Chain A
Amino acid sequence: MHRQIVRVALAAAVAGAFLGFNPAFAAGDAARGKLQFVKHGCWQCHGFRGQGSVASSGGKVLAPDPLPWEAFSAFVRSTNRAMPPFSEKILPNRDLEDIYAYLQSVPKTADYKSIPLLAQ
């Protein structure tokens, strides 16, 4: 019951953020974002590169190719299921934008067949 109220409130907050949204994330600072990714604990379940893990992120991969910003930020604020949500109180918007910039900066993954140990 209580939990549902929280979810509704969070969803409203996220919707509000969308309305007044200004795509400032494009200017996010990837170097600072890398530090925020560690400080806010994203690395714990997603790995330092956002590579994810079957054991802690339900196999979800954050980078390379992060979700579009809208979906990304909405997810972090409310989350759908297994990830504990980060409200703006504990994760300021600016930090989240920088985290996003960091994830966008993660280089593409090579085709596994080009990595000898994986191709064997």
Chain B
Amino acid sequence: MARGDSGLKVDRRKFLTGVAVAGAAGTVAPHAADATPAASAAAARLPSALPPTAQTIAAETGTPDIPPYSQHGRPGSDFMVDVIKTLDIKYLPANPASSFRGIHESLIDYGGNKQPEFLTCMHEESAVGMAHGYFKVAGKPLMTLVHGTVGLQHASMGIYNAFCDRVPVIIMGGTDLDAAYRPPGVPTVHSAQDINAMVRDYTKWDDTPVSAQHFAQSFVRAYKIATTPPYGPVMLALDAGLQQEPIEDHGQKLYIPKYVKGAPPQGEMGAVREAARLLVNAERPVIVADRAINTTQGIKLLVQLAELLQAPVVRQRGRLNFPTTHYLSRPAGVIRQADVILGLELSDYWATVNGFVDNNEHGVGMNESHIKPGTKLISLGNHDLMTKSNYQEFQRFQSVDLQMAGDVEATLPSLIEAVKSALTSDRKAAIERKIEANKKAWQKGRDNTHQLAAIAWDASPISTARLVMETYNQVKDLDWSMAVESGNTSNWARRLLPMDKHYHWTGSSGGYGVGWGSPAAVGAALANRDEGRFTVNFQGDGDLMYAPGVLWTAARHKIPLLTVMHNNRGYHQEVMHVQRLANFRNRVAYLGNDMAPIGTSIQNPDVEYHKLAESMGWWAKGPIKDPAELGPALKEAVVVVKSGQPALLNVWTQPR
């Protein structure tokens, strides 16, 4: 990367060679620190194709001397911290790396480790997952720092989840761009021409600033792009040279652009009125909501709309969207009866109105429509404003009759007003006549669901319905957040528990990249901690094992969280997939010594999650297999979490 001033190049080279030699000093040549600049420059110019020498490994892994790099002025990374501090970013979960040591040091020593506070993570995927979970509760983005190549590779699945789930995360990746001056060996292996390329397909925007001023513009721009709907992750490559070089006075005054929150996009008013007309005149309108609502206020708006229309609401998995306790809340079956469907930020409109049965028919599976011919489809959402090409999260194409690109929460007030104006007194009376029947239908559905939950109530391993109810019973009097669900507990929490706040249930990962549950729960718990709320998550066993180090992060930073394991001892989705294929092929699935087809079980030996958690500073208990022992263990765990410590219960559960 070209530097703005050739004088800087000289400084940078001196500095870099100094570090290479200083790093070597400890292990290779005790007196090398005294070497002349010429000698050290020669050492630094080793051909970079060679494997790293002891010297360069030492530069990466040894204890570096802090060089006097700021003797000509403030380090660039101090200015970066000034920029970051103008935005409301409370935490910075990250795994440390040499390529961003400049800004790391500035953040803690110059910035005082506040706004943002550095939270030590053990995996970059955990850091991004935490930021993801945090946003779902707090509605504010966090930032993270990654080693630009290997660290970003670790982070990438988390970034994909955030992208699919339309959640803002600000990612900065350290990279040493100047091939002529960067240390050879490991730091060079850890640099790339364009680190952002790897995540460009699933970030909303990225940039590689080449000057301090460029950084200031790009950081504020990145923040703004990430936090303007449709939300999404953004990526900045951060040159090591830019962080470490002093800012010299060239007569040009550095400035920090002011961040002003942008107004979210709204559905076009003509289309909003047409949607209202269709909905008001429908006999059986149905509302389906997925990633629609991020706030409790938004949930209230959707209640208003649903009540005006007496339209049942189907809650998909992206967010809570609608109170579970409301008499218009319904399972997906109502879609089959609809004559008008309002889809709110649906991640998959096709699968909302069609079905795919994985039964080997029609090639791989059977496709069928779930709606009556002539059903009018309306779509409102931000997704139309951000469609990329490579990754297929945009799903199958579904034609709709009326499409409104716009933010659901921002558009709901105008839609509600338009519905009110479109309601004639006849229509109003006809709609109001549905209230009693709707209340009855809801009560019937509730009874039915509770009776289903009673089946296998005393089973061991413990039924997922019981797991959920025993847990709820211990937290129901608190301001609770059942933040994140990983694994699959048959949706019992959303089917059985009274939820009407956005943080009662924060929805799925978006990209279904497994390993998201535990870091997202820790991130959500961090946001809840600051509001004095109690956080609990149902934790899949397979999900936890991708990067269990996040448990340590929670203990280290005193993030109280009750983790209740849904330990079904397998990658259960895959258990069923392999069985399914074996049946289709008329073969017996080979189990080896396990319960499930080879390669899908997590047993022999069983993982002792309670010991794993205990080893990282958690209070933990298990394995709990007898349902009668669950309530008392939960009671103990809740006391621990209320005292500010995380706690985990290793519960053996039914598969789903």
Contact = CB atoms under 8 A, between A and B. Distances in A.
Smallest CB-CB A-B distances: 8 pairs: A84-B583, A53-B656, A51-B456, A49-B456, A112-B454, A112-B450, A51-B455, A53-B490
B332 to A, nearest CB: 10
A109 B458 CA distance: 10
B473 A117 contact: yes
A93 interface: no
Interface of B: 357-361, 366, 447, 450-457, 459, 461, 463-464, 466, 469-470, 473, 488, 490-491, 495-496, 572, 575-576, 579-584, 586-589, 591, 595-597, 654-656
Interface stretch (A20-28, A37-45, A67-75, A96-104): A37-45
B154 to A, nearest CB: 30
A90 B586 contact: yes
A52 B359 CA distance: 18
Interface in A66-110: 79, 81-87, 89-90, 109-110
Given A47-B654, A51-B654, 18 more contacts: A44-B576, A47-B463, A48-B456, A49-B455, A54-B491, A56-B576, A84-B359, A86-B583, A87-B586, A90-B588, A109-B451, A109-B455, A109-B457, A111-B451, A112-B450, A115-B454, A117-B466, A117-B469
Contact of A38 (B453, B459, B595): B595
Contacts of B469: 117-118
Nearest to A2: B360
Contacts of A79: 359
B654 A44 contact: no
19 contacts: A3-B361, A41-B596, A45-B655, A47-B655, A47-B656, A49-B654, A51-B654, A61-B452, A84-B580, A84-B583, A89-B586, A90-B582, A109-B451, A110-B457, A111-B451, A112-B451, A112-B454, A117-B469, A117-B470
A55 B491 contact: yes
A37 to B, nearest CB: 11
Contacts, number: 111
Interface of A: 3, 38-39, 41, 43-45, 47-49, 51-56, 59, 61, 64, 79, 81-87, 89-90, 109-112, 115, 117-118, 120
A81 B359 contact: yes
B457 A90 contact: no
B654 A48 contact: yes
A3 B491 contact: no
